Every structure is written in C-alpha cells, then in structure tokens.
Amino acid sequence: MTTTLITGASSGIGAELARQLAAAGNDLALCARRTERLEELRAEILAAQPDRRVAIAALDVTDDDAVFRVFRSLADELGGLDRVVVNAGLGKGAPIGTGRYDANRETAMTNFVGALAQCEAAMELFREAKRGHLVVISSMSAMRGMPKTMTTYAATKAGVAALAEGIRSEMLGKPDLDITVTTIYPGYIRSEMNEKVAQQTRFMVGTEEGVRGIVEAIEKGVDSARVPAWPWKPLGTAMRHLPLGVVRKLT
C-alpha cells in the first residue's frame, strides 16, 4: 500500500490526482488552504473507495513552519509517507514593470519558495526512512521564458524543475537511499487556475484525461514526463530549440 501526500489538493489537478490515486490503491494525505473542500473530497473518495485512508490538513505552503509541521504530523498519523506530490501553485501574474510586483511576488513565493519548503520537508522524511518518491509538478511553460502575465509563473516553474533535477542528481550518488524524483510538465489541463482562458487555449484537455497521464508517469517512477504526451512531448522539444518569436506564437 502506497501512502501519498498531495498539496494543493482542494481543486483542479490536485483533487483529481487524489481521486485517481485513491482508485489505484493509494492512501492519501491531502493538504490545502480550503479545508471545507478537502472535507468534501475526502467524503467523495471514501464513498467510492471505503477501504482507503484519507487524512486532511489545512496548509498554506508559504508558511514555512507549517509545511514542516504538517508534513511530519501527517506522516505520523498515517505511519509514514511513501510519496509526496508538490502540486500547490498560484497562477497570478502581470507583465514585468507594469506596477503589479505584488502579484508576481506572490506567485514566486508560492510556486518556488513554497515548493522549496515542501521539497525540504519531504526529503527530510525520506532521508530518515531511506526511501520515498518526490513528485514535483512543473509546467510546459518552464521550457522557455514566457511573455506578459506568464513571465513570472514560467520562471517559477523552471526553477522548480531545476530544483527537482538537482535533488535527483544528488540521489544518483546515494546508493543507500532508495529515493525517486519525478518532474511532471503538464501542458494545458483544465483546472480552476485556467478556467477563464480554457475556451481560447489550443491543446487544452479535460482534467480527468490530463491527470490520467500524470498518474501513469508517477506510478512508473519516470525521471520526467510531458503530459499529455501528444502534443507536448514533441512540442516541448521544439520549444527548447525554436526562435523565441516562434515559441511565443505557439504558446
């Protein structure tokens, strides 16, 4: 039995990950700021999967102390954590230099500094247990710098991907630790974060379909995955090499 902690689990990708991982046999530790939504999600999961264990906790990932406290508390409650999915994120943002530093800073603190705290807390537990699976949710926008409202968001997701790769690199040199690190690069998957632009966005897929690909990659324990594979596996390669002006039009 695998026990998985998911942050940002109250809606969107996080909530659907909880549903699909529970159906795949995982016990769950679910964290988010909105505990009423977590209560509803737990009731839904237990109605469908009565044998699952589902613990919930309020968590603001920008509260460093709370991240470490909540992760350890949930690990104690469930008898350990096998996997942590660093999913909580924020999609706010504005073009740089247009007077909305507040929105860009909030995105940076949530998406990168908050992810750093989560990785630290998860890896402390995994190092103690000498095993574990760290999953970091990045974004296809991490492939290149993005314009306008996406600039800071894309930068944070690139930072998160580099953070995960650095941890993975270290674990390659630790044969005594059985710790896997997976980076997920979702393309356009419908969620609460992007619902206002979903109708105008090319390549958008439904939450259930998109998350199915994420779960498959997680369960395989791959180093990284672009999800859905079509069109994002070839498009991601193109994004890394095409001129910036072309990339801007593609995205």
In the chain, the percentage of residues whose pLDDT exceeds 70 is: 94
Residue 198 binned pLDDT confidence (cut-offs 50, 70, 90): very low
- Structural domains of the chain, count: 1
Look at the block and give the residue holding tokens 């999600």: 41
Q: Catalytic site residue 153?
A: yes
Q: What mean pLDDT, rounded, does the chain reach?
A: 92
CA dist 221 → 62, 103, 178 (Å): 27, 34, 12
Residue 197 binned pLDDT confidence (cut-offs 50, 70, 90): very low
**What is the tens place of the pLDDT at every residue in 202-223?**
666 889 999 999 999 999 999 9
What region, left, alpha or beta, does residue 87 occupy, with left being phi > 0 and alpha being psi -120 to 50 degrees? alpha
Q: Active site residue: 101, 153, 185, 188, which one?
A: 153
The whole domain housing 219 covers 3-250
Residue 201 binned pLDDT confidence (cut-offs 50, 70, 90): low
**What is the tens place of the pLDDT at every residue in 44-68?**
999 999 999 999 999 999 999 999 9
Contacts of 101 (CB under 8 A, 6+ apart): none
Please state the rounded mean pLDDT for residues 94-113: 97
DSSP code for 62:
T
Sequence-ordered strand ranges (E) for the chain: 3-6, 27-32, 54-58, 83-86, 131-137, 178-186, 224-227
Q: Which CATH number characterizes residue 236's domain?
A: 3.40.50.720
